[in-house]
Amino acid sequence: MNRSMLRDTQWARIEMLCAGKAKERGVAGRDNRMFVEAVLWVTHTGSPWRNLPKQFGRWHTAYIRAYRWSRKGIWAQMAEALKGDADLAQLFIDSTIVRAHQGAADAQEKRGSKKRLDAAKAD
């Protein structure tokens, strides 16, 4: 599998932040990198969890684990550890991110406001 979303240097910086280490009891830490890649895939593509490719494991297991990590603040710690890697060479803002007031598209000047403004200037 191609793990192109997370570079080895990035993984080295966040690996110790993962809950459930590979050497600990249980299966949660069996492959933390694969799990992080699964979460990155979902956030990158915007796909629903149910569409998670099988190579990442069961979607529901990944979803529950991502939720638990969120409650524990693990994602915030990882973001803090990786914040220097932000690549802002291309930054896009579109209508899915920036919302306008519902009346902004059909905003019209109030009746008489121009007349009142002209009258105020004349004084």
pLDDT in tens, 67-99: 999 999 999 998 888 887 766 555 556 656 556
pLDDT value of residue 28: 57
pLDDT value of residue 36: 92
Do residues 69 and 19 make contact, with C-beta atoms less than 8 angstroms apart? yes
Predicted TM-score (pTM) of this structure: 0.61
Average model confidence (pLDDT) across the chain: 76
pLDDT value of residue 27: 55
